[in-house]
Structure 1
Amino acid sequence: MNKFSYNKPKLDIPKTSLQKIFDFLTIIIFLAGMIYIISVWDQLPDQVPAHYNAAGEVDRWGSKWELVLLPAIAVLMAIFLTFLEKHPEWHNYMNLNESNIEFQYRNSMIFLNVIKNQCVLLFVFLSFNISQVALGKAESLGILFLPIFLVIMFGTMAFFIIRSIKQK
């Protein structure tokens, strides 16, 4: 094993315009979602959906205060993933060498950016759906939620992994 694989250099790679736009839009949607939750808080019953099964049906009800956990988790996860996004030298790579290091770092940074924003948007969607079910405006997440979510998440991972492997 060569020294390069253990001693990955730190490169100054700025965020792309697309990453900045995705971050900005996600923040706006997150804030709009939180404003919505705050605006309907007094209308929410004491018990709201707290868990869904694989078919998207509510299988546990809990205190409406549990709804506060979703945005809190989203914020903590976004902070952590943003921190990791800024340190691509800490990430694991296949086929990393001097000729592709900048591409691999950028690919990894964009991957984390996309996953981070998808997760935050997921938590906003779940918060909104929970409030809609609790208010009687919806019945469930729907049977298509889980397959669509899995295709998006695993599709994103596959895209960036394949992109990384192709860049030898």
Structure 2
Amino acid sequence: MSTSWKWPKIHIQKTKSEWTWDIIGYASYLGSVLFLMIVWNMLPDEVPAHYNAMGEVDRWGSKWEMVILPIVGAFLLVTMQIVEKYPEVHNYPARLNESNAEKFYLSSRKLVNQLKNICLILFAFIIFESASIALDWGSGFSIWFLPLTLLGTGVPIIVGIMKQRKIK
């Protein structure tokens, strides 16, 4: 492929799966922010601020540190939403051409959509768990949190790569 070739700009409607992921991701994230606002005055001055690989709290911090989670979540949401909106700027193999561009764009956009929403769900879960631990409502993360997080983000990437490899 010549370096002067411009990647086509193609408008592709959002799929039902993308809308479903968005509803789940946004609802989880917004629900966790609302939850944090509701329990804010009940939170003690110190809340879990960091977890080790076993899912145990290994640092406590000011409850104001919990505000970082929704801010980082919002930053990720906006950034990944922009990246999702412009699939023509994603990185593709040299075999991309005008006849297969739509398939590549859709595949790449769906992957970004899934990862964006999985991140929002993870942030929502961390907010809920951190507040729950601080309020003595639960024991916190289990040893399974890190492996499930790695699988939850890694599997869609591997599946996305495998799907793109099948595009002719």
TM-score by structure 2 length?
0.94
Give the aligned CA root-mean-square deviation in angstroms.
1.3
> What is the aligned partner in structure 2 of residue 161 from structure 1?
161
Tell me the CA shift for residue 117 of structure 1.
0.3
Tell me the CA shift for residue 166 of structure 1.
1.1
Tell me the CA shift for residue 31 of structure 1.
1.9
> What is the aligned partner in structure 1 of residue 72 from structure 2?
73
Tell me the CA shift for residue 136 of structure 1.
1.2
* Structure 2 counterpart SS, 1:141: coil
User: Percent identity of the aligned residues?
Assistant: 40
Q: C-alpha deviations, 1:28-63, integer Å up to 9, x for none?
A: 222221221111111111000000011111011111
Instruction: Say how many residue pairs are matched.
Output: 167
Which consecutive aligned stretches of 4+ in structure 1 deviate over 4 angstroms post-superposition?
none
> What is the aligned partner in structure 1 of residue 31 from structure 2?
32
* 1:3-152 correspondence to structure 2 within 5 Å: 3=3, 6-94=5-93, 95-152=95-152
* Structure 1 counterpart SS, 2:50: strand
Q: C-alpha deviations, 1:63-97, integer Å up to 9, x for none?
A: 10111111111111111111111111110012312
Instruction: Give 1:140's aligned amino acid.
Output: G
Q: C-alpha deviations, 1:130-160, integer Å up to 9, x for none?
A: 0011011222311010011111111010000
Q: C-alpha deviations, 1:83-118, integer Å up to 9, x for none?
A: 111111110012312321100000011100000000
Unpaired stretches in structure 2, ≥5 consecutive residues: none
Cα distance in 2 for partners of 1:119, 1:11 equals: 27
Cα distance in 1 for partners of 2:40, 2:112 equals: 32
* Structure 2 counterpart SS, 1:98: coil
Conserved? CA contact 2:49–2:61, under 8 Å: yes
